[in-house]
Amino acid sequence: MKKRFSSILHSLSGKVQLVFGGLFLAILAILGAVIHFSMEQTLMRRNEAELANTSELIYRMTEIYVDKVIQNYLRSIAEKSREMAAYHYRLFQSGILDETEALGRVRALMLDPEYGRIGDTGYLAGVNRRGVLVIHPKSEGVDAGKHAFMKEALQKKDGFLSYMWKNPGETEPREKVGYLSYFEPWDLIIWASSYKSEFNSLIEIPDLAERIRAIRIGKTGYPFILDSNGRFLVHPTLEGRNIHEMGDDRGRLYVQDILKRREGMIRYPAEEDETGGSAEKIAYFKYYPEMDWIVVSSMSTREITDSLNKVRNFSLGALLTACIAVSLAGSLVFTRMLRPVSRMKKVADAVSEGDLTRRIEVTTRDEIGELSTQFNAMLSNFNDVLQRVQSSVAVLLGAVQDLSVSAQEISTTSNQQAASVKEIVSTMEDSDKLTKSISTRITEVARIANTTRDAVSRGFTIIQESLTKMDEIKASNAERIGGVRSLSDKIENIWEIVNIINSIADQTKIIAFNAELEAASAGDAGKNFKIVAAEIRRLADSTVESTAEIKSAINEIQHSSDNLIIASEEGTEKIIEGWELSNRLRLVFEDIQSSSEISAGSAGHIATSTDQQVAAFEQILQTLKQISEGIDNFVLSTRSTTEASQKLKGMADELKQIVVTYVT
């Protein structure tokens, strides 16, 4: 077994397979590492983006919920005060009170510290159409029409208003909210307002918590809300618990870090799960300044690592399968490619043993096929030379006998031959210079061909990288379209919630109408109950209007989502067109690369052949010079012809013995 492995290792086929197999394994290992790292980064970025989007969604949901609660609260105060003004106006119309007394009572009620107080610093106020504060606890009579929010209020007269305001003695403006209700007979815009941060007590945390707890992130992730003291306002299991001093094993108080930073992303250790183990968690948090809350979305990093492990195992299996397949295919291909070389070696062994009748079977048209053809031609030429040498030996043996007789004649003609040989030497020297010049130029052509081949290879590599990037863009665009479609499905769920709210509001209106009928039948004893029933019916009307606004917003979101899907699909078509164009360009580069490799190989062979020709010319030139010198000496050595003929006869006999060893 060891001997067989050694023979394979020392063979040309074994060396080629070993080199290319090792190179392929190295490329596969590098490619696997790059794919693993890229997938890890992609999964991490995708989950971080999902956390950020979920946290933003919960933040917006919380903000909308808080705004609606505050808006309904302020609206009830403003409209209640408007009804109070209308009641006193009816007293004035009936003659029970004069107009000044009726308006004075309205002003006194609105400025009453108990009735007119909203939150910690809020109050009721009255403004006319010119922007003058006709009723105000601190700035009565002031013209506020120059302020931008007052211009908006005068234009609205009725409705919700949000603006930035700074009370005297404060350093920074804060968001202030108000509701306007216009009483036209007295040209009075009743204004109920306060800072948004003063409505904490109005928010019903259980109602908000129920909505937030229904949201899940992945398999184990969930959102929660902390107050500024580190207490869970909303949490699936730990609601009401204070975690201000919670930290990790290294002493890092990550909850305090969240409270200090207020917005960003953090990693922290998770509690033990059902299996007794624990994994790190990643969280994205955002600060809600009006409520002094921090909205947090978290999930376990184990979900990311589990997905990554599945991808890694699949990639390793695929790479191993590819390695085995390529190794088998490479072994078969290289064995078939080098089979003519093995046949050439067998023929060469036969020639070395004296058999000149063997020939190489030519089965391909590549460089090896050309080399086999040239090797067969060389054997044929060598066979012809040997046959001619055999004939010449027989003639030479007869001619040696006559050499002494013709020595005088040779002496006569030697001078003429010497002159002719000198002319041939001169001609061969010129040919040698020309051949060397051609060799130099062919070497330069071979170098340029190799440079072209390298440049084409680099271009081919760039095209391959471009195709890989196009595949990544296609995958990313498909994920984006999937996310938008998922958002569309969630919007459909909101439609169902809005329909339920409308149904509840309609039932509330019916109940309020029945209550008004009962109050009317009760006479004076049911007046207060009638006012309450009217408030309930207006609240139901407000709910219907709010759901109509929500429906309008949902329609806009649905329309934008559809447009985004269409745009993404159009972008996908462009990406596919670009990918197909790059793929066609890759095929063109493959053809160019193949042609450049053939050109470089052919140029190398031509350069080698030219170098051999230059060497042959130099040998021929040197031989001719020696012949010229020999002829000159031959003229002087004619006297020793007899002795030379004897030596020549011995050489002829020896040459005959050598030629006999070859089979022609």
Polymer length of the chain? 664
pLDDT at 46: 75
Q: How confident is the model at residue 555 (pLDDT cuts 50, 70, 90)?
A: confident
In one-letter notation, the amino acid at residue 477 is N
pLDDT at 396: 65
pLDDT per residue as tens digits for the range 309-364: 766 677 677 777 777 776 667 666 666 666 676 767 777 777 776 776 777 777 77
pLDDT at 503: 77
pLDDT higher than 80, residue 170: no
* Average pLDDT over every residue of 183-201: 86
Q: How confident is the model at residue 82 (pLDDT cuts 50, 70, 90)?
A: very high
Name the least confident of 2-16, 406-420, 649-663.
2-16
The Cα 256–Cα 262 span in angstroms is 10
Q: How confident is the model at residue 187 (pLDDT cuts 50, 70, 90)?
A: very high
Contact 185, 85 (CB under 8 A): no
Residue spans of alpha helices (H) in 243-300: 254-261
Evaluate the CA torsion angle 402, 407, 408, 413 in order and state its sign.
positive
pLDDT at 413: 66
pLDDT higher than 50, residue 454: yes
pLDDT at 2: 52
pLDDT at 213: 78
The tokens 């863009």 sit on which residue? 473
Contact 181, 158 (CB under 8 A): yes
pLDDT at 274: 43
Q: How confident is the model at residue 478 (pLDDT cuts 50, 70, 90)?
A: confident
* Average pLDDT over every residue of 461-482: 73
pLDDT per residue as tens digits for the range 371-392: 777 777 777 777 777 677 667 6
In one-letter notation, the amino acid at residue 386 is L
pLDDT per residue as tens digits for the range 408-452: 566 666 666 666 667 776 776 776 676 677 667 767 766 776 776
- DSSP annotation of 197 reads G
The Cα 540–Cα 137 span in angstroms is 32
Vertex 600: Cα angle to 596 and 603 (nearest 5): 135
pLDDT higher than 50, residue 466: yes
Joined together, the tokens standing for residue 90 give 């009816």
Task: Kindly give, in sequence order, each residue whose CB lies less than 8 Å from that of residue 162, ignoring residues fewer than 6 positions away.
Answer: 175, 176, 177, 178, 196
Name the least confident of 1-10, 173-182, 240-249, 391-400.
1-10
Measured CA distances, 40 to 26, 166, 284, 307, 631 (Å):
21, 49, 19, 9, 85
pLDDT higher than 90, residue 127: yes
* Average pLDDT over every residue of 283-311: 79
The Cα 560–Cα 564 span in angstroms is 6
The Cα 460–Cα 530 span in angstroms is 85
In the predicted model, what is the mean pLDDT of the chain? 75
* Average pLDDT over every residue of 158-165: 88
pLDDT at 563: 74
* Average pLDDT over every residue of 3-22: 59
Contact 97, 199 (CB under 8 A): no
**492 or 158, which is more confident?**
158
pLDDT at 394: 67
The Cα 214–Cα 224 span in angstroms is 11
pLDDT at 337: 63
CB atoms within 10 A of CB 453: 20
pLDDT higher than 90, residue 183: yes
The Cα 534–Cα 528 span in angstroms is 10
pLDDT at 275: 43
The Cα 498–Cα 554 span in angstroms is 10
Task: Express as a percent the part of the chain with pLDDT over 70.
Answer: 67
pLDDT higher than 50, residue 276: no
Q: How confident is the model at residue 144 (pLDDT cuts 50, 70, 90)?
A: confident
Name the least confident of 4-18, 226-240, 568-582, 587-601.
4-18
* pTM, entire model: 0.41
2-6, 157-161, 224-228, 564-568 — most confident range = 157-161
pLDDT higher than 60, residue 7: no
Closest by CA to 18, choosing from 329, 322, 319, 331, is 331
Contact 226, 258 (CB under 8 A): yes
Q: What is the dihedral of CA 208, 213, 214, 216, to 10 degrees?
A: 140
Joined together, the tokens standing for residue 268 give 């922290």
pLDDT at 87: 92
Contact 125, 191 (CB under 8 A): yes
Q: What is the largest CA-CA distance in the chain?
A: 175
* Average pLDDT over every residue of 583-608: 70
Q: Which residues pair with 132 in a beta bridge?
A: 143
pLDDT higher than 70, residue 218: yes
pLDDT at 404: 54
Q: Buried (b) or exposed (e) across 219-253, using 16+ Cβ within 10 A? A: eebbbbbbeeebbbbbbeeebeeebeeeeeeeeeb
Contact 256, 231 (CB under 8 A): no
The Cα 179–Cα 158 span in angstroms is 7
pLDDT per residue as tens digits for the range 95-119: 898 999 999 999 999 989 888 888 7
The Cα 464–Cα 510 span in angstroms is 70
**Domains defined along the chain, listed by start:** 65-196 (3.30.450.20), 205-305 (3.30.450.20), 453-637 (1.10.287.950)
Q: How confident is the model at residue 559 (pLDDT cuts 50, 70, 90)?
A: confident
Vertex 116: Cα angle to 155 and 82 (nearest 5): 45
Name the least confident of 49-58, 294-303, 369-378, 624-633.
624-633
CB atoms within 10 A of CB 140: 14
pLDDT at 442: 67
**101 or 599, which is more confident?**
101
Residue by residue, what is the 3-state secondary structure of 319-357?
Answer: HHHHHHHHHHHHHHHHHHHCHHHHHHHHHHHHHHCCECC
